[in-house]
Amino acid sequence: MPDGRPRDHSSGDQPTAPVLSVYRRLLVYLRPHWTKTTIALALLAVTSFGRAVPIRIIGWAIDAAKEIWQAPNGLGSADFQPLIVLAAAYTGVLALTGILGFFSSYLLAQVGQRIIFDLRKNLNDHLHRLSLRYYEGERTGEIISRVMGDVQAMESSLLGPLQSLVSDFTRIGGIVTFTITMDWRLTLMVVAIAPLVAAFVYYLGGKIRVAFRTAREKIADLTSVLHDGISGIRVVRGFAREPEQARQFDETAEESYEWNVRAAKLVAAARPVMRLLTASGGVALILYGGWQLGHGNMTEGEMASFALYLRELYRPILGLGRTYSMIQRAMAAAERVFELLDTDPEIVDAPDARDVRKISGHVEFKNVSFAYNEEVSVLRDVSLTAESGQMIAIVGPSGAGKSTLVNLIPRFYEVSDGSITVDGYDIRELKQRSLRRHIGMVMQETFLFNTTVRENIAYGKPEASEDEIVAAAQAANAHDFIEAFPDGYETQIGERGVKLSGGERQRIAIARAILTDPRILILDEATSSVDSETEILIQQAIDRLVAERTTFCIAHRLSTVQNADRILVLDEGRVVEEGSHEELMARGGLYQRLYETQFRLALPETAATEAPLSVAEDDDVGLVDFDGDDEVPV
């Protein structure tokens, strides 16, 4: 199973699954629509077979017209009834096949679009079940490329090959049925080329499949580069990196171009070779058919029909080659889609997982250890207890494991050892949705959706009333600036809330958390990168938010946690100190050094040189986690 690690797409020699096994898996999506598909394919078969009839009617008409013109009593006494009947039959067959073809195409289009809908829905649902570890090992552009680009490539290639196979084989069957009645020897000469065509298609198909798969991967790489460049446009321009970003895009686009051209070259090379092979049928018709016609063994109408059938016969034969290429292209896309679907979620609900509707918020870590992989251990034997309604502050140097610790509470990651309980329940015994319904999070880097202010606040509680939304915004000190917008709560905030300031985004995030009324709250300090006035407003909102809730606060400004019920000091994944602010300051350990380092850095330069420090400077200075991001190894 895929392990979520970044993949190397630099080579086109990736292993590919057998075509039949992949296509058989694709056909599973047809099962719910099998009745409609069968009817559509049956109509298609009748239509394709029926298309051979008009050509034979033309041959009969030629022979009938010859008899009329050669009638001994002259043209005036000729009986035109056979031609009238043949003309009516010709028109009727064309009308019938047209009507049947319409219903066949319409039904297959319905089925095809429903299958693509089902496939994209399955992919989206599966992506939301995968753990965060998967997203840390995959590029966003790569994932989007699989869900959109690869599924789109499968859209014309899922029912398309099945449709082509039914159409081509029944069309060939109809043609051969009529040609055998005219001259079975000439028919054998014409169709003898089919095995050579099949062998050539099979030989070239494997190469085409590898080329198309690599081409799809290069498109995914290009999508990732484009996504990163657009998402990080402010950083790109801020560091004047436009030329470098453009060069990276150009290099990736060049690789995509080369592999797409290579795939197109293989497909293009197949066409003239197959036309050359099928030309032997025309040679047989000219030589043998001409001999038969000259000796009276074949009529002019039969000769004309055979010539038209020959042209029509090689179209579906060549179509089989195109169908095989289409299948190879579909397989290249399908393998990438199924690779994503086959990625197992790391965290799943137990079969007997419980659904808890109400909790008090008592949280306990019991000898918890966690590692992202065997080489990197982040937390080691962490034990802590948070009583209902308590605020637990978590401080420590950068990379100490603070963010990892709080991410274990909602089961974003699974503990490597030990256990975490909520109200006495091991969180692994609870349904994930049930657990997370009672947890609210306000992170330093707030994510808002590209929709209205109202919908962002109500994201965790879509059924919230207008009064509830406004009350949450007022509690978060956000109502006034929202009302100042021209469209108020209906204001579109742009992608990731780009139209808002950092402080405004934070207050909307706080309003979102207030509205869900969680019993457990996780705060990744929301005031570390805003101005003083905004900080006061946000801190007031946070004070309202944490009231009577069990709160875990990752602190980057140690002054904000002095009133916490208990402070945990993490260092290298271990709890090295624990207590109140006064107790930890009196202890003279790591907490005191971190606190006084921050205090000194916050003072004006002259005051800093005059302010006495109770501890000597040491190597820990500069290690305080001001940005708030624990390193997350991948």
Verify that 461 and 330 share a domain, yes or no: no
Last residue of a domain, one of 461, 483, 517: 517
Asked whether residue 48 is domain-assigned, the answer is yes
Whether 249 shows a pLDDT value over 70: the answer reads yes
Which of 185-189, 196-200, 221-225, 410-414: highest mean pLDDT? Answer: 410-414
Which of 178-182, 422-426, 595-599: highest mean pLDDT? Answer: 422-426
Query: What φ, ψ does residue 609 adopt, rounded to 5°?
Result: -75, -25
Measured from the Cβ of residue 617, the count of other Cβ atoms closer than 10 Å reads 11
Whether 270 shows a pLDDT value over 50: the answer reads yes
Asked whether residue 12 is domain-assigned, the answer is no
Last residue of a domain, one of 474, 497, 517: 517
Asked if 442 and 541 touch (Cβ cutoff 8 Å), the reply is no
Verify that 113 and 259 share a domain, yes or no: yes
- Residues near 352 by beta carbon (within 8 Å), at least 6 away in sequence: 429
pLDDT digits (tens, 9 = 90+) for 5-43: 334 444 444 445 556 677 777 778 778 888 998 999 999
Task: Indicate the helix (H) or strand (E) that contains 516.
Answer: helix 502-516
DSSP 104-145: HHHHHHHHHHHHHHHHHHHHHHHHTTS-HHHHHHS-HHHHHI
Q: What is the DSSP letter of 397?
A: B
Asked whether residue 196 is domain-assigned, the answer is yes
Q: Is 76 exposed, middle or buried (0-12, 13-18, 19+ CB in 10 A)?
A: exposed
Verify that 161 and 33 share a domain, yes or no: yes
Q: Provide the domain count of the chain.
A: 2
Distances (CA, A) of 552 to 109, 254, 440, 561: 53, 49, 10, 11
Amino acid code (one letter) for 412: F
Distances (CA, A) of 55 to 61, 310, 365, 531, 598: 10, 11, 81, 83, 91
Asked whether residue 155 is domain-assigned, the answer is yes
Residue 503 structural domain? 442-517
User: What six digits make up the tokens of 130?
Assistant: 């995968």
Which residues in 425-565 belong to E strands, given as ranges?
A: 425-426, 439-442, 520-524, 550-554
* CATH code assigned at 503: 3.40.50.300
Of the pLDDT bands very low, low, confident and very high (cuts 50, 70, 90), residue 614 is very low
Compute the average pLDDT of residues 322-326: 70
Compute the average pLDDT of residues 608-627: 36
Q: Which residues, in sequence order, are bridge partners of residue 420?
A: 365
Asked whether residue 122 is domain-assigned, the answer is yes
User: What six digits make up the tokens of 224?
Assistant: 């990732």
Verify that 468 and 331 share a domain, yes or no: no
- Residues near 445 by beta carbon (within 8 Å), at least 6 away in sequence: 524
Last residue of a domain, one of 293, 323, 341: 341
User: What six digits make up the tokens of 266?
Assistant: 């293989």
Verify that 325 and 452 share a domain, yes or no: no
Higher local confidence (pLDDT), 180 or 14: 180
* CATH code assigned at 46: 1.20.1560.10
pLDDT digits (tens, 9 = 90+) for 75-103: 544 567 888 888 999 999 999 999 999 99
